[in-house]
Amino acid sequence: MPIPKDTIAAISTPLGEGAIGIVRLSGPDTYKIADRIFSDRHPEPFSQRDSYQLYHGFIKNPQTAEFLDEVLTTGMKAPGTYTGEDMLEINAHGGILVIQRILELVLQEGARLAEPGEFTKRAFLNGKMDLAQAEAVADLIRARTDLAKKCALQQLEGGLSCKLKVIASELLDILAELEAHIDFPEEELPPQLYERDIQRIESSSRILEDLLLSARYGKAIREGVRVAIIGKPNAGKSSLLNRFLEEPRAIVTETPGTTRDTITESVSIEGIPFLFTDTAGIRETSDPIEQEGVRRTEAAITKADMVLMVMDSSQPLDSQDEDVLDTLKKYAPSACLGILNKSDLLSHPVIEKDKFQELIKTLVPLSALTGEGIKELKKLLVDTIKQGEVTDAGGELILTNVRHAELMGKTLADLQLTRESMSSNLSPELVAADLREALHHLGEITGEYITGDLLNRIFSRFCIGK
């Protein structure tokens, strides 16, 4: 059994942001390492100190005696920790560079760099959390914006489990009635009313549907929405991108694209990370390059969740526009917005909208130059992702896990079957078979065997027995 014998370490705060960063260790050698690199006014080794106590001191490289940073550290003793192992958290203040050097020092002293999600994996293996919690934590690790963190935290605290438990309880009540009628045909039980049960199942289904619809939104929050900005040169792609980047706080990272000529910028709009890929910089002077431009546009479209086709609305469509439209037609992306740029130049755009309205349903007049229409575009982008399914992330539970979404989809299908069986007035054991399947899938989300207390429900609700 690969019971973790080594000690792992990682930076557990997002890189690049904020002045404080945390280096976290977990495993049997945690305190040995801590004693070597951390010094303060307390003489006793870490293993003899109190758990969950903050100690103020310094990180020094024991081999070179080099001073790295002034820090606060907290030791947490097994098994009452997140991973179930000995843990240490070093809160450093010196910015990203210093934090990385502290991590290197820890690794030099015998720790191993944690794989993504390895803390959670250990917590899971040590029986510290159920499946839903573990998966929510895994999402937390990947969470890139505040909203995503909020979602993940909600699930972690059992928001999802709690909501599902309410549904499971309602379904179990219905099942208990069905079962009582099956197993005790000689008893004088209140009649089973399928019409009423159908209504109860419908309201449970609605809650599940809301959760499921949020799954799409959840994916966007976790992984970011890839938006390709396409269009002929000088249509205003770069200006549009710059408009998005205008608010400095919105900039999260800036990474060069896979080729020199595409740029991907990450921008957070209403908490959703949008990754804009600009195909700008394509030089279209000779035929071979032009082909290259088409190829890049194609690549950008196929990788994108959403496409923004930028056009100069002050001019009629030209052959370059037609080329881009042809490419677009070929791939027919599901979400495509047409940007009618340079709306400031003419009060009545001369561009022939009817030529592409089939292809592009939504058109946004905008001036990248003046910023007019940008606000509307941003709202449209967010709305497209939310699709009106989740109105507000505040307080609403958002499903950020693909497995959860899948199981919930199955549960909903089972409930649909259950309702149909009831509508066709099928015998209760058949209806129960459908309903049990729903409960089974619901239970898989939290990793619990939900039907365990079925008998309790039957006997507490019905007076049964000779």
Q: Which residues bind other proteins (CB under 8 A)?
A: 1-3, 124-127, 129-131, 134, 179, 182-188, 424, 426-430, 432-433, 436-437, 447, 449, 452, 454-455, 458-459, 463-466
> Of the two residues 254 and 429, which places its CB atom closer to other proteins in the complex?
429
From residue 418, alpha-carbon distances to 55, 83, 157, 167, 435 in Å are: 58, 41, 31, 15, 6
CB of 8 to other proteins, least distance (A): 15
From the CB of 435, what's the least distance to other proteins, in Å? 12
For other proteins, give the closer residue by CB, 250 or 454.
454
DSSP track, 401-454: -HHHHHHHHHHHHHHHHHHHHHHTT--HHHHHHHHHHHHHHHHHHHT--GGGGH
Contacts of residue 119, defined as CB under 8 A and 6 or more positions apart, other chains included, come to 8, 10, 12, 24, 26, 82, 83, 141
Q: How many CB atoms lie within 10 A of CB 283?
A: 11
Is the Cβ of residue 139 or residue 177 nearer to other proteins in the bound state?
A: 177
239 vs 339: CA distance, rounded Å = 12
CB of 180 to other proteins, least distance (A): 9
Minimum CB separation of residue 420 from other proteins in Å reads 12
Give the nearest distance from C-beta 453 to other proteins in angstroms.
Answer: 10
- Which positions ≥6 away from 252 have C-beta within 8 Å? 144, 145, 266, 267, 268, 273
- When the beta carbons of 83 and 297 are compared against other proteins, the nearer one is 83
CB closer to other proteins out of 1 and 19:
1
Strand partners, 339: 310, 364
Q: Return the number of the residue (374 or 430) whose C-beta is nearest other proteins.
A: 430
Cβ distance to other proteins smaller for residue 331 or 449: 449
Dihedral sign of CA atoms 343, 346, 348, 354 in order: negative
Q: Smaller CB distance to other proteins: residue 188 or 354?
A: 188
Say which residues have a Cβ less than 8 Å from residue 365's Cβ, sequence separation at least 6: 313, 340, 343, 349, 373
Q: Tell me whether residue 187 or residue 202 sits nearer to other proteins (CB atom).
A: 187
The answer to whether residues 447 and 131 touch, using CB atoms and an 8 Å cutoff, is yes
CB of 57 to other proteins, least distance (A): 32
Residue with smaller CB distance to other proteins, 317 or 432: 432
Rounded to whole angstroms, the Cα distance separating 312 from 51 reads: 64
Q: Tell me how far, at minimum, the Cβ of 457 lies from other proteins, in Å.
A: 10
Whole-angstrom distance, CA of residue 340 vs CA of residue 259: 27
Please, what is the minimum distance in Å from the beta carbon of residue 141 to other proteins? 18
Residue 31 CA to residue 9 CA, distance in Å, equals 12
Q: Provide the token pair at 73.
A: 């550290």
Shortest gap between Cβ of 448 and other proteins (angstroms)? 8
Q: Residue 12 is which amino acid?
A: S
Closest CB to other proteins among residues 20, 433:
433
CB 412: neighbour CB atoms within 10 A? 19
Q: Tell the smallest beta-carbon distance from residue 69 to other proteins (Å).
A: 34
Task: Output the DSSP codes for 267-293.
Answer: EEETTEEEEEEE-TT---SSHHHHHHH
Q: Rounded to an integer, what distance in angstroms lies between the CA atom of residue 52 and that of residue 48?
A: 12
Least gap, CB of 164 to other proteins (angstroms): 15
Closest by CA to 400, choosing from 73, 192, 153, 170, is 153
DSSP annotation of 378: H
- Least spacing, CB of residue 198 vs other proteins, in Å: 19
Considering beta carbons, is residue 197 or 305 the nearer one to other proteins?
A: 197
121 CA to centre of own chain: 18
Peptide bond preceding 45 in cis form (omega within 30 of 0)? no
